[in-house]
Amino acid sequence: MKKLKSTLPNMFLSLFFTCVASGLIVTGSNLYTATPIAESKKAAVADAIRRVTPEFDNNPVDEVYFAATSDGDSLRIYPAKKAGAFVGCAVESSTKKGFSGEIKIMVGFDVKGVLINYSVLSHAETPGLGSKMESWFRTDKKNQSVIGRSLASGGFSVFKDGGDVDAITAATISSRAFLDAVNRAYSAYAQTDSSSGASPQKEDDNEK
């Protein structure tokens, strides 16, 4: 069999087919993993909702809607209902004010606006410092915990900023960021109709 000469066209064709094969492999891998990744994220959200809201029998993920925050952004609201009655909601919030970037959390409120619980969805804060937010702000010690408190009279802030929440030791920036995410969650929750769990704008939006 005659050996192919190492010419520029041959090298080009070889490189071309290698790139095509690699592209097909990457595309196939993405298609194969896209669904499991999406399902995993959906399950994580559903689990976070269950942890921060009162017991419910509806599917909050299917009834999700957006509500505006005080800074002009919008957040996802997951209404929790029991026997058709609104019992609370979970708000998926975030802030980019963290020491190492964005922090995402799920915050739960009851019908009176009292903070039931929270779940940290993702963050890149310093291990052993800012990362303590996952438990610090629900620990019943000094003024650390935000659980069972209402934001109706104003948002949370750390002592250094004139507030009444004890910041994580040596992680004031992370603490401020976490509380910012909580405050943003409440500002979106405040748009919710406490009798039905719906957004006041939802009906109008559907009519457009």
More confident residue, 198 or 84: 84
Q: Is residue 27 part of a domain?
A: no
Q: Is residue 144 part of a domain?
A: yes
Number of domains, the chain: 1
Q: Is residue 8 part of a domain?
A: no
More confident residue, 1 or 18: 18
Average pLDDT of the residues in 183-189: 96
pLDDT (0 to 100) of residue 199: 64
d(C-alpha 21, C-alpha 205), whole Å: 47
Residue numbers of the domain that contains 186:
52-204
Least confident of 36-45, 67-76, 88-97, 164-173: 36-45
Share of the chain above pLDDT 90, in %: 66
Q: Is residue 112 part of a domain?
A: yes
Q: Is residue 140 part of a domain?
A: yes
Q: Which two tokens stand for residue 122?
A: 């993702």
Instruction: List, in sequence order, every residue forming a beta bridge with 158; answer none if it has no partner.
Output: 165
CA distances from 147 to 32, 95, 181, 205 (A): 41, 19, 15, 33
Burial class (CB in 10 A: 0-12, 13-18, 19+), 149: middle
Least confident of 6-10, 12-16, 54-58, 161-165: 6-10
Average pLDDT of the residues in 191-203: 63
Q: Is residue 45 part of a domain?
A: no
More confident residue, 33 or 101: 101
Contact 91/204 with Cβ under 8 angstroms? no
- CA dihedral defined by 36, 39, 45, 50, rounded to 10 degrees? -120
Residue-wise pLDDT for 152-169, tens only, equals 989 999 999 999 999 999
Residue-wise pLDDT for 11-35, tens only, equals 766 777 677 666 677 666 666 665 6
Contact 176/145 with Cβ under 8 angstroms? no
pLDDT (0 to 100) of residue 29: 62
Helices (H), the chain: 8-52, 133-136, 172-189, 202-207
Q: Is residue 153 part of a domain?
A: yes
Q: Is residue 76 part of a domain?
A: yes
Average pLDDT of the residues in 195-205: 55
| pLDDT of 78 over the 50 cut | yes
